[in-house]
């Protein structure tokens, strides 16, 4: 299986599930050792889940199948350059390589907010549209201290 | 219920589930019309799901309960400033207001990669540690064109 084969599989999924009204025109596959170990497609509107983007769904599927929270050594093939949520999910999953087809600009032209959100991220936090207030810092900090002192903690 | 009450509920959840070894020391609640409509806590290591951060779990729970993919008019209370994945999830969920306690710097001091990932985001894409290659642009672009022409598409 070539890189193109894996991407073509993702493109097939994106078309099929978009036409079936599951969500936006996006899909992704996670590949490890040459084998597809997780597939995902956008299901935001059909599942009422704003986090059900293709990459998130594919990462969750791959982790469930492999019984791990780390996809180190895997690659992700996504039909569109990931939005900030999915890009960070790829980092948290420790996936080192990404193949993409459409760009953030293409997504923006198709009516999606990926580009707008990247522009929000580039702003200082207090200039973003999301209003933010800090409270109870000391009470929450105590829980972090307990974590650091917890001898059987599992790091990720 | 005051803002502090909602945050205190999140802090209780963060301590309880961290001590029960479900994952990192993070929790969040989504509030609409003064009522908690979704609760979440970190379950990365217990669920083998690198996307199971507190805010993601809370948003999914709130959307499932309310039967919607938009939490417009809600607020999220999170025990720690969100990582880039969760910040973008808050934007996709259309939540306009966030209350937080610990900061990204606190998370970094407790051993988490939130700060490192924000620094990656600030780099030009080709300088990030995630390797990227583009392929099959035209084939994927055709699916976006079909989306734009799809008369019964549900936007989000």
- The pLDDT of residue A107 is 98
Q: What is the DSSP string of B48-85?
A: T-TT--HHHHHHHHHHHHHT-S--TT-EEEEEE---HH
pLDDT tens by residue, B77-121: 999 999 999 999 999 999 999 999 999 999 999 999 999 999 999
Instruction: Give the ipTM of the model, two decimals please.
Output: 0.98
The per-residue pLDDT for B38 is 98
Judge contact between B81 and B102, C-beta under 8 A. Answer: yes
Q: Is the dihedral angle over the CA atoms A78, B143, B124, A126 positive or is it negative?
A: negative
Site from A2, A21, A24, A143 to mutate, B interface, most B CB atoms within 10 angstroms = A143
Q: Are A30 and A64 in contact (CB under 8 A)?
A: no
Q: Which residues of A are catalytic?
A: 55
Check if B55 is active-site. Answer: yes
Size of interface A-B (CB pairs under 8 A): 274
Q: Which pTM value belongs to this model?
A: 0.98
Q: How many CB atoms lie within 10 A of CB A46?
A: 16
**B44, B86 contact by CB (below 8 A):** no
User: Integer distance in angstroms from the first to the last C-alpha of chain B?
Assistant: 31
As a whole number, mean pLDDT of residues B45-62 equals: 98
List B55, B108, B127, B139, catalytic entry: B55
CB contact under 8 A, B155 and A111: yes
What average pLDDT does chain A have? 98
> Searching chain B, which residue's CA lies closest to the CA of residue A22?
B154
Tell me what the mean pLDDT of segment B14-24 comes to. 97
Please tell me the predicted confidence (pLDDT) of residue B95.
98
CA dist B20 and B90 (Å) reads 26
Strand order in the sheet with A97-102: A35-41, A27-32, A75-80, A97-102, B131-134
Q: What is the mean pLDDT of residues A125-152?
A: 97
CB contact under 8 A, A91 and B11: no
Q: How large is the average pLDDT for residues A107-134?
A: 97
Count Cα atoms within 13 angstroms, Cβ side, for A39.
13
In tens, the pLDDT along A9-63 reads 999 999 999 999 999 999 999 999 999 999 999 999 999 999 999 999 999 999 9
Q: What is the pLDDT of residue B56?
A: 98
Q: What is the mean pLDDT of residues B44-65?
A: 98
Mutation for testing the B interface, residue in A51, A104, A152 having most B CBs under 10 Å = A51
């Amino acid at each position: 299986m070539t890189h193109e084969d894996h991407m073509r599989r993702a493109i097939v999924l994106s078309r099929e599930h978009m036409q079936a009204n599951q969500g936006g025109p996006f899909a992704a596959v996670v590949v490890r050792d040459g084998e597809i170990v997780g597939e995902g497609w956008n299901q935001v509107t059909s599942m009422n889940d704003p986090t059900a983007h293709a990459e998130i769904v594919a990462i969750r599927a791959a982790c469930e199948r492999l019984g791990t929270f780390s996809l180190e050594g895997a690659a992700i093939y996504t039909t569109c350059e990931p939005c900030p949520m999915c890009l960070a999910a790829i980092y948290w999953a420790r996936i080192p390589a990404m193949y993409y087809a459409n760009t953030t600009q293409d997504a923006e032209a198709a009516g999606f907010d990926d580009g707008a959100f990247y522009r929000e991220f580039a702003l200082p936090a207090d200039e973003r549209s999301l209003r933010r207030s800090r409270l109870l810092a000391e009470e929450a900090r105590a829980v972090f201290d307990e974590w650091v002192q917890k001898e059987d903690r599992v790091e990720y």
